[in-house]
């Protein structure tokens, strides 16, 4: 039985992540999405929030489970007895980064294979960082995340204008802002 590990910070999970998890679920018997507990970056959502958002987003996939982990990715790979690490690629920069990380993981655990999946064109420029920034500034991110993630973002940014269209002028905090 082929089991794959899909690790990441998922802060928050978005449609690009869901696309990769969905496609991996077709390729592998089981997929374990692993939410990294303590990445070396500032997080918007707690580990528990990220875990719950991911579980809800992937609940329609019967062969995908969601766990948290800390420490080396290769160790959680061994703990869940996965044979493959799945990663999504958006661009050349992602390829170079994943190639380096894949090399390091292979040196640490030669039994692990890496499977990189190119993202859907709709998400080629989407990142959690962009999603959070657009949400914090009141832009329309409705095509980038499921509704429960949108609600969680709105709760984190209550002063934003919510999910309004990005075109033209809009009123934000009493000022006119150009969105173009």
Question: pLDDT value at position 170?
Answer: 43
Model pLDDT for residues 34-91, shown as the tens digit of each residue:
999 987 788 999 999 999 999 999 999 999 999 999 999 999 999 999 999 999 999 8
Q: Is the pLDDT of residue 94 over 80?
A: yes
pLDDT category of residue 163 using cuts at 50, 70 and 90: low
Q: What is the pTM of this model?
A: 0.86
Question: pLDDT value at position 88?
Answer: 94
Question: pLDDT value at position 159?
Answer: 84
Q: Where in the chain do CATH 3.40.50.620 domains reside?
A: 3-123
Q: Is the pLDDT of residue 171 over 70?
A: no
Q: Is the pLDDT of residue 119 over 60?
A: yes
Average pLDDT estimate for 22-40: 94
pLDDT category of residue 161 using cuts at 50, 70 and 90: low
Model pLDDT for residues 98-117, shown as the tens digit of each residue:
999 999 999 999 999 999 99
Topology of domain 3-123, per CATH? Rossmann fold (3.40.50)
Pairing label, strands 84-89, 168-172: unpaired
Question: pLDDT value at position 169?
Answer: 36
Average pLDDT estimate for 155-163: 79
CB 49 within 8 A of CB 10: no
């Amino acid at each position: 039985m082929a089991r794959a590990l899909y690790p990441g910070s998922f802060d928050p999970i978005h449609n690009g992540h869901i696309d990769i998890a969905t496609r991996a679920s077709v390729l592998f018997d089981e997929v374990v999405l692993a939410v990294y507990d303590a990445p070396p970056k500032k997080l918007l959502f707690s580990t528990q929030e990220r875990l719950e958002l991911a579980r809800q987003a992937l609940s329609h996939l019967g062969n995908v489970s969601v766990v948290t982990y800390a420490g080396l990715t290769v160790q959680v790979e061994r703990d869940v007895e996965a044979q493959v690490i799945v990663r999504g690629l958006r661009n050349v920069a992602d390829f170079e980064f994943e190639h380096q990380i894949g090399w390091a993981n292979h040196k640490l655990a030669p039994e692990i294979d890496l499977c990189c999946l190119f993202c859907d064109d709709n998400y080629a420029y989407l990142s959690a960082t962009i999603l959070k920034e657009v949400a914090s500034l009141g832009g329309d991110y409705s095509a980038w995340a499921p509704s429960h993630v949108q609600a969680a973002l709105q709760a984190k940014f209550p002063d934003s204008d919510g999910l309004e269209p990005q075109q033209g002028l809009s009123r934000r905090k009493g000022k006119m802002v150009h969105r173009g």
